[in-house]
Amino acid sequence: MIIVLKPLSNQSTIDRLTRRLEELGMKPHVIVGVERTVIAATGKEQEGTQAELEGDTDVEKVLPILAPYKIASRETRKEPTVVQTGSLTIGGGTIGVIAGPCSVEGEAEILEIARLVKAAGATALRGGAFKPRTSPYAFQGMKERGLELLAAAREATGLAVVTEVMTPHHVELVARYADVLQIGARNMQNYHLLQAVGEQRKPVLLKRGPSATIEEFLLAAEYILDQGNLQVILCERGIRTFETHTRFTLPLATVPYLREKTHLPIVVDPSHGTGIASLVPSMSAASVACGADGLIIEVHQNPAKAVSDAAQTLNPAQFEATLATCRKVATALGKSM
């Protein structure tokens, strides 16, 4: 349920109500809005709880949350959630651009591409140090050394770092180096991993599983939010369909649909979504046109030599041209990029 507090409620009121909700066996999540504060209470509701809260002098009203995802729902928070960390802002009219190679490949390579994507307009650097590969024989990433190199690239360029974490055991390690923790598509329903990134306080970029419904996607986000981490970025990266002309099928209606259902910012990954570099510029512009709050794009100084996902990777000039088009679309929509 959502407990809407009267305007100008103070901290001692919030503390008193959250303590009471805990006594009643519920989990309170305080959501501070521009106009008023609400407390989203999750967990099993006892008989009489609603009536008690409705009678409280500091409570304006108590509403049920109809959606299965509670904290992620628009019902809980009307204003968009904006995620801001270092150079990266996503949401609330600002389009974030996360770019870089699929995998961190070496020191010189990551420093060079970080400088190139920054010059082209990226606002964050991506690069996998722990790589979830379909084959166990494929390159698995540079692991901790890769994280160190990402941190060095941030030091050199000022770009915030987005990188994947694959297991709960590595959350603390990855969080030490990264600004945003990426949960890969293959791990969208790894509930222990979702809880582990929910327990730490860095933002999380959650990729949609290739066969997950939107409801499953939002419930996965809810696992993170329920642990108290409200900085979740949703990422549409394409789903598996009968179609084979592209690597995945990129369903852009996801963006305006999610916008109606959730306050969380929404990013599109046209690189994995298509698997084909020549399609990435158009689908990036289309993503901005349908309201995406950000893009995550694979860029490499020499895509043909990229150790992973070469076929979908742009070179820096193609990336720069893509952003120039996207910026025109963003301007037409009154957004900044």
**Footprint on this chain of ligand PEP (rule: CB under 6 A):** 102, 128, 132, 184-186, 207, 237, 269, 272
CA 66 to chain CA centroid, Å, is 23
Residue with tokens 């990433």, as numbered in its chain? 141
Question: Is there a contact between 299 and 116 (Cβ–Cβ < 8 Å)?
Answer: yes
Distance of closest approach, residue 271 Cβ to ligand PEP, in angstroms: 8
Beta strands 204-207 and 160-164, pairing class: unpaired
Q: SS3 for 244?
A: coil
Q: Which does 184 bind (CB under 5 to 8 A by kind): Mn ion, ligand PEP, none?
A: ligand PEP
Quick one: which of 59, 88, 102, 117 contacts Mn ion (CB under 5 A)? 102
Nearer to ligand PEP, 28 or 128 (CB): 128
Instruction: Say if residues 148 and 191 touch (Cβ distance below 8 Å).
Output: no
* Strand pairing category for 37-42 and 2-5: antiparallel
Note whether 173 and 148 are within 8 A (CB). Answer: no
Rounded least distance, CB 40 to ligand PEP, Å: 29
Nearer CB in complex with Mn ion: 262/313: 313
Which of 69, 130 has the CB closer to ligand PEP?
130
| Shortest distance (Å) from residue 221 CB to ligand PEP | 15
The residue type of 20 is R
DSSP string, 252-271: TTHHHHHHHHBSS-EEE-HH
Pairing of strands 124-126, 96-100: parallel
Q: Which is nearer to Mn ion, 77 or 126 (CB)?
A: 126
Contacts to Mn ion from residues 309-328, by CB under 5 A: 309
As measured in angstroms, the least distance from the Cβ of 308 to Mn ion is: 6
Q: How far is the CB of 146 from Mn ion (least distance, A)?
A: 14
**Binder of residue 247, out of ligand PEP, Mn ion, none (CB less than 5 to 8 A by kind):** none
Which one, of 191, 120, 210, 113, lies nearest residue 152 by Cα? 113
- Give 29 or 247: the residue with its C-beta nearer to ligand PEP: 247
Give residues in contact with Mn ion (CB under 5 A).
102, 309
